[in-house]
Amino acid sequence: MPVTKYSRQREAIMDFLMTRRDHPTADIVYQNVKSAFPHISLGTVYRNLNLLADLGRIARIRVGDGVDRFDYNTTLHCHFVCRKCGRVMDLHTDVPSMANGMEGRSIDGNLIEGHVTYFYGSCSRCLL
């Protein structure tokens, strides 16, 4: 529980994320927030994204391509990763998962606290 003071840069980062339905990387956030804060640094963007994610105000999404993505929508939902173009998007259809309900169970002595599922394939745009 870190103590936080207000910062205009952090607000701008939050505002930008709010406008996006995809899941921008830190660098994309940086490129966009630069129009309002020409001198903002990538380091500041990372520090704020990490802080906001730690506070639970945004979600950090890692689909295994080595880049962190961030999402204003913190409600639990599945993601779809296009193997051709790399886009990451929400899956709106409710995907039933037996993995839900595993929380708190122990398997082989390991306590399960959560799980991550994502689907991959070819996105609508790449299928054309």
The binding site for DNA (CB under 7 A) comprises 2-10, 25-27, 37, 39-44, 46-48, 50-51, 66-68
* Residue 96 binding: pick among DNA, a copy of itself, none (C-beta 5-8 Å cut-off by kind): a copy of itself
Residue 74 tokens read as: 């913190």
Residue 14 tokens read as: 């939050």
Report the alpha-carbon distance of residue 115 to residue 76 in Å, rounded. Answer: 11
Running DSSP on this structure, what letter comes out for residue 17? H
Smallest separation, CB 77 to a copy of itself (Å): 12
By CB under 8 A, name the one of 62, 74, 75, 85 that touches a copy of itself: 62
Residue 116 tokens read as: 């991550």
Q: Does 86 bind a copy of itself (CB under 8 A)?
A: no
* Residue 18 binding: pick among a copy of itself, DNA, none (C-beta 5-8 Å cut-off by kind): none
Residue 101 tokens read as: 């309900």
Q: Does 77 bind a copy of itself (CB under 8 A)?
A: no
Q: Does 112 bind a copy of itself (CB under 8 A)?
A: yes
Q: Are the beta carbons of 25 and 41 closer than 8 angstroms?
A: no
By CB under 8 A, name the one of 2, 38, 56, 114 that touches a copy of itself: 114
Q: Are strands 79-82 and 69-71 parallel, antiparallel or unpaired?
A: unpaired
